[in-house]
Amino acid sequence: MRGALWVCERDIRKFLRQPFVMVSALVGPFLTLILLGYAFGGSITHVPVAVVSYSEGRYSSAYLDIVKQEQNCAFGGASCGDAFRLRDFPDLESAERMLREGQVKAIIYIPSGFDSTLISSNSVVFTIYLDNTDPLSASAVYGGLSRAAQQLSAQIQLLSGRGESLTVDQANFYRNVLYIEFMAPGSLVQAIFIASIIGGGVSILIDKQRGIFEGYLVTPLKQYEIVVGVLLAGVVKALFSSMTMLFMAIIIAGVRPMTDATGFLLMLFTIFLAGLGLISMMTAFAVRVPAPEVYQFTAFPINMVLYFTSGAIYPIDGFPDWMRSIAVVNPEAYAVHALRLLMYKGASLTAVLGDFAFLAVFTSVMVGLATVAFRRRL
Amino acid sequence: MDAAVQSVDLTKRFGDFAAVNKINLEIGSGEIFGLLGPNGAGKTTLVRVLTTVLEPTEGTAKVVGYDIRRNANKVRESIGVVSQAITLDVELSAWENMELYAKYYGVPNGLRHERIKALLDVVGLAERADFTVGSFSGGMKRRLELVRSLIHRPKILFLDEPTTGLDPQARYAVWDYLRKIHKDQGITVVITTHYLDEAEALCGRVAIVDFGKLVALGAPLDLKRKVMGGDVVEAEISIMSDEALTALQDSDFVLEVKKRESLLTVLVKSGAEAVPRIVELVGAKGGKLRSITLREPTLDDVFLNVTGRSIREDTAVTRKRFVSTWGAMRR
């Protein structure tokens, strides 16, 4: 039995020589704790909601005031914020367009007879339109607007002693989107990133370590030819990887995208843009790291930060401010946003133009960076 | 005749360390030129600078008439390189490896097929063309690299230790192919090696490199004659006294004596006369020899002479007295 002690001693001795290996391996789980904890632990605030009001009555404005003051708190009240950010629209049509483009998450529609009906009848039902392609935001919005309605009823009862009740009815704008479907675009983007970790500049890194790379350097291939070639191969791999993911999501996970041919082409373009950008970013990094281990230990944490702050698993509106500011510059957030619009809302090019613009800028900068970072000589 | 390679004060430093230190070298067209030196002497760095993989710190060189700093891509188009590490894609077949490099070098579509076939034929790999390179032996890989570097008909072929790690049979095969290619194509070959026999067997001229400097240059035979100026007697010792050693050193027919463990190496003016006299002298001073042989000096002796170390020793052991006397003798 004493032999077990010596075996244990050997392992512990070796562990003590390089404890940082375990510490760096802990970066992943720790990031998961922080990012996932804050993402899911936050409450959804500042949700953009469109208001289309044809009523100028007392009660309708009272209702909107209550909605405006609605607060959402998280972390035991440590972090609170306005639940909604209201934007007025003159008619339902323009509000609907904003909802389709993902600019607002819901529409509060107050018809012209709102006040008079509320006074004359005992019970009033009014409708809010919800963007249910984001099920978490939709249920939070519905909860908040219902609470506001109850509060208004209570106020009216107090003032008049009568028993009117105001109920909110929800009208779903799209077919019910399951949470797993909500998550699917994030997985497509993560598939791109995985391809960019193992498919882009890392081939240069591995070739360098194996010494194969010197073979390239003595050929008359130009600097940009080598870089662009590696990036293009990476993009092909990223397209393959995300299409495989999409296929599996549809066949196995039961994801049902509602996309026409144009939408699918726009999806491919989104993946191409995001893929090229992310691959260039990782290539710029890979061609300058001193050792493959450094790349390996860094690539996966980068993947986690980008994925968890992209809004792939939880709406960005629910993030604390520091995470939201990462999301603003996170290319994956724009890719996820565009893919979600294209997959479940049948969105047109105009709806995703903003996302494309950001991705195009990001990708151009990263391709440039990768080309400059790459060294033509050893 | 134009020089294939011409370097002027070529220097490559890594920090404070000069791996290549002010090398002035001229290699003629059509030569098989050897860069000989121990591990770490700077041979590989020199080849990397000449083949545009590394940028020189100071000085420059012209390769096939093009400046390696200003016209790197012209140089790359005109040379073939077999680097020290295997640079083949082991996942791909021999043919695919050839084909890709043909494309990199812009070999026209029409010529590609024929040229690959002919080259694979030269090194006896035509039948293995469609096998993945991962299944090849070390010698086969080297042969494939050798012809891959010729796909664009380069004017100079650079080989960095092409036979390191190969068994003797595979080495001789590589030598044969190299000689054949040199003869058939009239190509200039620059080869680095730390194998003395390789340099002697292949090279018309040899440059001996040590600590980044050129320490000797010439045809192997000339180097041995000029630098050594005598024969080498090697004896295996059973008993050897210090007295005997001193007596040998003081003899007028002896140029220098070196003792390494049980091996005694004596450089003498004339071997035939020296052998009996050494046996006699050692015997008279109480020593005893197990065997004694007379041999021609080798390039290792030359290296030893000019650097004070053997090329075969990995650790640099300086033998002060040895160097000083032989150094004096050379003058």
Domain ranges of chain B: 3-223, 225-330
pLDDT at residue number B322: 35
The count of CB pairs under 8 A between chains A and B is 50
SS3 at position A114? helix
Least CA distance to B84: which residue of chain A? A211
Does the CA dihedral A224-A227-A233-A234 come out positive or negative? negative
- Phi, psi at B97, each rounded to 5°: -60, -45
pLDDT at residue number B329: 35
Give the whole-angstrom CA distance, residue B227 versus residue A44: 87
Question: Which of B104, B145, B151, B152 has the highest number of chain A CBs within 10 A, making it the mutation to test binding with A?
Answer: B104
Give CA separation, B328 vs B11, B169, B256, B305, B322, in Å: 29, 41, 11, 11, 10
The answer as to CATH 3.40.50.150 being correct for domain B3-223 is no
Least CA distance to A211: which residue of chain B? B85
Of A210, A222, A377, the CB nearest to B55: A377
Q: Percentage of residues in chain B with pLDDT exceeding 90? A: 53
Question: Cβ separation of B85 and A219 shorter than 8 Å?
Answer: no
Question: Cβ separation of B53 and A377 shorter than 8 Å?
Answer: yes
Mean predicted confidence (pLDDT) in B257-262: 81
User: Which positions in chain A touch B81 (Cβ < 8 Å)?
Assistant: 214, 218
User: Which positions in chain B touch A210 (Cβ < 8 Å)?
Assistant: 85
Question: What amino acid occupies position B4?
Answer: A
pLDDT at residue number A167: 77
A5 touches chain B (CB under 8 A): no
Which pLDDT tens digit goes with each residue over B58-110? 999 999 999 999 999 999 999 999 998 889 999 999 999 999 999 999 999 99
Give CA separation, B182 vs A46, A165, A178, A340, B198, in Å: 77, 100, 71, 64, 15
pLDDT confidence band for A72 (50 / 70 / 90): confident
Say which range, A105-119, A135-149, A218-232, has the weakest mean pLDDT. A105-119
Query: Which of A371, A197, A374, A373 is CA-nearest to residue A300?
Result: A197
**CATH code reported for the domain at B225-330:** 3.30.70.100
Q: Which domains does chain A have, with CATH numbers?
A: 44-172 (3.40.1710.10), 179-373 (no CATH)
Question: Cβ separation of A211 and B106 shorter than 8 Å?
Answer: no
Tell me the residues of B at the A interface, defined by beta carbons under 8 Å apart.
48, 51-55, 73, 76-77, 79, 81, 83-89, 101, 104-106
Of A212, A213, A218, the CB nearest to B76: A218
